[in-house]
Amino acid sequence: MADLNICKAPDVLTTIGLGSCIGIALYDPVTKISGLAHIMLPDSTQIRNNSNIAKFADTGIQKLYDDMIKAGANRTKIVAKIAGGAKMFELSNAGTQGINIGEKNAIASREKLKSLGIPLIAEDTGLNFGRTVELYSETGQFLIKAVGKQEKYI
């Protein structure tokens, strides 16, 4: 949670139990340099305490992208897949900001990817359950696991 990392083939990156958070997988199919971020909140500029850049969609995705370029990934080849952003509880009036933070996270992630010119080629977001994800740097496959549900690759 609020963390990010990159790797090279044949390594696998994983993050467990994405709820309303988003897992952003970036992948360069040529160099097979891969990155995974687990962001919690959409926008660092809306938060006073924003020292952990991995916590936010805007700064987290930027850092992940920069790290991958630094490691040798080709900026024109990188593609993205995202998962998470669930609404864990159907609460309708719990405060003002808890509502559908998952959806806000998904929207912010898509926007940030777009601004970096990274194509979003697959996503599994929303609904009301947690997801564990694994990014396979050899193939770029993004495995999604959920309690009581069939595993799937996107």
Partner 1 sequence: MISLQEVNEKYLDVLTEIGNIGAGNATTAIADMLGLRIDMNVPQVQFLPVEEIGTSIGAEDEVIVGIMLGVGSDIDGSMMFLMDMNSAHHIINRLMMRPDDYMEDFDEMDLSAVKEVGNIIAGSYLSALSGLTGLTITPTVPFVAVDMAAAILSVPAIQFGMFGDNALMIKTEFSDEMKINGYFILMPEEESYEKILSSLGLPV
Task: Give contact residues for partner 1 (rule: CB under 8 A).
Answer: 1-3, 16-21, 40-41, 47-49, 51-52, 55, 86, 88-98, 101, 128-132, 147-148
Q: Is the separation of the CB atoms in 18 and 132 below 8 Å? A: yes
Q: Which is nearer to partner 1, 33 or 39 (CB)?
A: 39
- State how far the alpha carbon of 130 is from the alpha carbons of 43, 114, 134, 153, in Å: 22, 25, 14, 16
Q: How far apart are the first and last CA of the chain?
A: 21
For the CB of residue 22, give the shortest distance to partner 1 in the complex, in Å.
10
Nearer to partner 1, 21 or 61 (CB): 21
**Residue 90 CB, nearest approach to partner 1 (Å):** 5
98, 92 in Cβ contact below 8 A? no
For partner 1, the closer CB: 33 or 144: 144
